[in-house]
Structures are given as structure tokens and as C-alpha cells.
Chain A
Amino acid sequence: MKILVPVKRVVDYNVKVRAKSDESGPDLSNAKMAINPFCEIAIEEAVRIKEAGNADEVIAVSVGDSSSQEQLRTCLALGADRAILVETEESVEPLGVAKALKEVVSKESPDLIILGKQAIDGDANQTGQMLAAMLDLPQGTFASEVEIQDGIVQVTREIDGGLQTLSLTMPAIITTDLRLNEPRYASLPNIMKAKKKPLETLSSSDLGLDLSPRQNTLKVAPPPERAAGIMVEDIEQLVDKLKNEAKVIT
């Protein structure tokens, strides 16, 4: 069984991103970049499935510019067997990413595709579902537990009211939520080994794809500022303020 894991290079989750002062976009100059945390959970899950003897190969794939090779190497260090970069210079919307991934899927024919549920930059939460629809495959989104047996994958999903379990025929698409697993750290020997693992580069034009954006970003602005608050001395003062100043309790 083959598992494909699409991953994205994003700003590190600890960086507080601000809008540029001319509101033309987010200010990402010198920001630390990393693999999207949900994608890291996806790689971890795929590697665990392989380690449990339920898969033979884990392939990491990314759609982005050449710097995404860095994140693909991270995936290789975490246990992926090989990697594919679909190289594109412009930023691609989730619809375009899904189209590029569809081409990779038709070349590789994986039995399972595991993605992060959302990237922490655009917060779109679309790519996995879009890819599933394009391939007419079932999806188990926001997964907190995955169980594979006999061509069926059972996925427990984190939904608004609690948990839901679905049974999907394979091939299937899974998107990860936070509780699915705790990703390992790459060991130094594995980081060294990863440098020798195959990393293939395709260009989006070779795939014959039109990935041009359908949305124009007119501006990117900071959120409304909150007025500075005050520190209260004790509970008595707090309750008094909430009653008589903020008037949110009676």
C-alpha cells in the first residue's frame, strides 16, 4: 500500500504575522518558515501506518517554489521514502493545489492520501476536500483516529458536538486534526539519511495546469485593535467592574 502526504511550507506557528503598512499583504520578511503543523501530523500518521506494517511506501509532495524542498527534506527525515515537488513560482490557491495534486495522484495511484486539515497561513481548510471531490474519493476530515483493515479505513472525526466515526472505502482521503498523534522529532542520523533520499521536481507547466488565482486580494489589513484594559486588585473589584462598568452581568 502506498500513502501520499501533501505538505505545505508556511510561516512558523510561533511567528505573529502582521500586515505590511501599505496593506499589500502579510509582512513575511525574515520570518521563520516551517512545515505546516497539521502536515507534520499527516506525515507522522503515514509513517506510523508504515511502521505498523500496513503500508510499503510514504511519498511526500508539495506544491510551491523551490524553497519548499526544505520542508520535503524534513518529511524525508521524519520517515517518508521519497518526495515530489510540483514547482511553481506564483502562490497557488487551494483549488490550484488540489488540481496539481490530482495529477500526482494519477501518476502514483496511492491507496491513502493524508493531508493537514488546514494550513495556518491562509486558514482555508479546503485542499483535502477539493482533491477528494476531483477524484470522486471519500473523505475523513479532521481525523483524531485512523484504523485500516481490508480495504476499509475507519476514521474518527472531531466535529462540533463531539466525535463522529465514518467508514470509507479505499482509496480515501484523510485530513488530520491536532489529536491524531504527536509528531516525532527528526534524529540527526535520519536528517543525514534524508539528504540521500530521492526528491523529484516537476514543473506545474509540465503538468499542463492552469493554476492562476481566481481571487484578487485587494488588501491585507491588521484586525481592529482592542482598547487597552486594566488590571483589577481582587475578585470584588472585578465583579464590580463587570456589573457597573462593562454591564455584562447583573
Chain B
Amino acid sequence: MSILVIAEHDNNELKIATLNTVAAAKEIGGDIDILVAGMDCETVADSASQIPGVGNVLLANKETYKNSLAENIGNLIVELSEGYSHIMAPATTNGKNFMPRVAAKLDISQISDISAVISNDTFERPIYAGNCIATVQSTDTIKAITVRTTGFDACESSGGSASINSIDNDTNAGVSSFVKEEIAESDRPELTAAEVVISGGRGMQNGDNFSLLNGIADKLGAAIGASRAAVDSGFVPNDMQVGQTGKIVAPDLYIAVGISGAIQHLAGMKDSKVIVAINKDEEAPIFSVADYGLVADLFEALPELEAKL
């Protein structure tokens, strides 16, 4: 078994999603290499080389890979695929973007969003918004896999000493180019990596009211999320959406405020360890997954909660 893990990073920092993916790779077992493709991303390669259990870090440091364009990265991974039994990436928007290209080029059927490893060819993955868990066995010789990061605890990030090998492949497809990026700046932890998440829904009524969550998030070191209803209504930006088609989170504590609990939202948070729901509608489906439910007007409950923490 020889596994190639594609690193998730922003050219400056190795993202924790990479550690979740390496953890899944370790469950499969075998040699693990990490590909760091980007531009001026040597520090990322250094971080990757310190992950215990990693053999080689392949560093593709080129303008071609700066913005992680799927066409260019996909072709690079295809060129590097020989000799690997598994190619794995986190199921982030980035991994979801390039991995199917790799699979199609290699004529293999990708296994998306695995939540557990059963053996080197058999995996569990949620389907139907997580209402069913399918156990699937791949018959392809190479397995192309994306990993649901909440399914695997991050592996250690230091103590290893992999060698870093620069590779010179340049697979610029020349069909797409980067125009701009608007990345939200925040001092809060990343939604998918936070130990505590507090999310607001349609019940928040408008974007300004989301500030009621700030003080609580500050006290708990929490990330702030939202339901699709809140995002669609324009209260908050899309990158805050938790759900089937947004971010999948599984923090130690998830606090849902003014969220009714549609199937699609539950799909994104029901693996949280402890769930608190605050909603004025006692019939709200969110209470069916909550460990602690409170029927209350959130405009009274939130200031009180902030004061009591």
C-alpha cells in the first residue's frame, strides 16, 4: 500500500484538514507521501514533513499551482499517480474540486467523503444527507478518496522527519485563470476545526442580530455558523453555512439558535458531541437531536447566556 495525500493549505499554512486526511490514510496503512502544490509554499512543505509517519513530501512550487486551479492540480496528481494505491484529499471545497478530475483521468470511480475506513478497499460514507451510511467496496486498482474531516481525529503534527523532494512537473492546462478572492478575515477559530460552534438561523431575523452571538463566541472560543435559511436571506456570508451542502462540523459543543432543524442542516452538525438548541417553537425538529433544549425567545436568552458564562 502506498498512499498519496494532497495537502490542504493557503501557501502559508498547512490546514488541519490535512492532518485528518493523514489520520484516515494511517487507518488504511502503508507508506504515506504528501503532495504540497502551490507557490512560495516551502513553509507548508516543512510543516508537512513534520507529520509523524509521512515518508516523503513532494513539493511542486510553481506559479501554475498558486491558486490551486483544479485543471492544473488535477493533471499534476495524474502525472504523479503511478505506484500509488490510494490518492486522498480532504473533502474541502478544494479537494472536492480537483479529485473527481483525477479519478476521471485515471478511469476510476471516486469514493467521496468517507467517514470511516473498514479495510484498504472498503469504506463508510454518508448518503442521503447522512440519513444512511453506505459501506462501499471499491474494485478499482487505484482508489481516489475524499475524506470527511469530522470522521477522523487529526493526527500529530510534529515529531516526524520526512524528506522534502522538489518536483519539476508543470501541468498548466491554460484554460482557467484566477481573477480574485474574497476571504473572510476572522480572529475566531475555523468553523470546521472549532471545539465550540454557535450557529444562528432564520430566527435571528437579520444580519445585525448575529452580533448577539459574538459575546458568547468570545467567551467560549467558538466559531460562528449559520443555517442555509440565514445565508439565503443574506444575513451572513455563504462560508458560514453548516449543512449537507455547506460545512460539516462535529465540535464538542454545538449551540443552535433560532434554527428549526431541517434535514439538510442536521446533516452538517448532528455528529457534534453535545448539542444545545434554543428556539421559541417547541415543535422545532432541532430539539429531536438536541441534548439540551430550551424553549425561549432568543433575544432574551442570548444576553442572559452571555452574562452567565
Contact = CB atoms under 8 A, between A and B. Distances in A.
Interface in B80-137: 92-94, 96-105, 107-113, 122, 126-137
B134 to A, nearest CB: 5
B238 interface: yes
Interface in A153-168: 154, 157-168
Interface residues of B, number: 88
B295 interface: yes
B181 interface: yes
Interface in A111-159: 117-118, 120-134, 136-142, 144, 154, 157-159
A110 B239 CA distance: 32
Q: Which 5 A-B pairs have the closest CB atoms?
A: A129-B100, A214-B109, A130-B104, A133-B101, A138-B175
Contacts of B70: 129, 132, 139, 141
A220 B175 CA distance: 40
Interface string A221-248: 1110011011110111011011000101
Nearest to A158: B238
Main secondary structure of the interface of A (DSSP, over half): mixed
Given A162-B184, A239-B305, A130 B100 contact: yes
Contact of B175 (A169, A213, A231, A236): A169
Nearest to B107: A95
Nearest to B179: A165
B29 interface: no
Interface of A: 11, 13-14, 16-19, 26, 38, 93-95, 98, 117-118, 120-134, 136-142, 144, 154, 157-169, 172, 177-179, 213-223, 226-227, 229-232, 234-236, 238-239, 241-242, 246, 248-249
B301 A235 contact: yes
B269 to A, nearest CB: 11
B221 to A, nearest CB: 10
A133 to B, nearest CB: 4
A97 to B, nearest CB: 11
Contacts of B275: 226, 229
B153 interface: no
Contacts, number: 267
B238 A179 contact: yes
A217 B136 contact: yes
A158 B100 contact: no
Given A121-B128, A138-B173, A167-B179, A236 B308 contact: yes
Contacts of B74: 133
28 contacts: A13-B263, A19-B132, A38-B245, A94-B100, A95-B103, A117-B245, A123-B244, A126-B103, A129-B97, A138-B71, A157-B93, A161-B10, A161-B239, A164-B178, A164-B182, A177-B238, A177-B245, A178-B245, A216-B136, A217-B135, A220-B127, A221-B133, A221-B135, A227-B291, A230-B292, A232-B293, A234-B296, A241-B292
Contacts of A178: 228, 231-232, 238, 245
Contacts of A122: 127
B287 A141 contact: no
Given A129-B100, A230-B291, A160 B247 contact: yes
B175 A168 contact: yes
Given A94-B109, A178-B228, A223-B126, A18 B244 contact: no
A45 B232 CA distance: 17
A162 B92 CA distance: 13
A229 B293 contact: yes
B189 to A, nearest CB: 13
B290 interface: yes
A123 to B, nearest CB: 6
Interface in B171-219: 173, 175-184, 192, 196
A4 B251 CA distance: 41
Given A133-B100, A231-B293, A234-B294, A18 B309 contact: no
B304 A162 contact: no
Contacts of B178: 164-167
B154 interface: no
Contacts of A221: 132-133, 135
B69 interface: yes
Contacts of B176: 138-140, 166-169
B103 A130 contact: yes
B133 A238 contact: no
Given A229-B290, A248-B253, A162 B182 contact: yes
Contacts of A167: 176-179
Contacts of B131: 16-19, 26, 222-223
Contacts of A141: 70, 93, 96-97
B220 A249 contact: yes
A219 B135 contact: yes
Contacts of A138: 71, 173, 175-176
Contacts of A154: 179
Contacts of A222: 131-133
B161 interface: no
A162 B181 contact: yes
Contacts of B136: 215-218
Given A216-B139, A231-B294, A232-B294, A123 B129 contact: yes
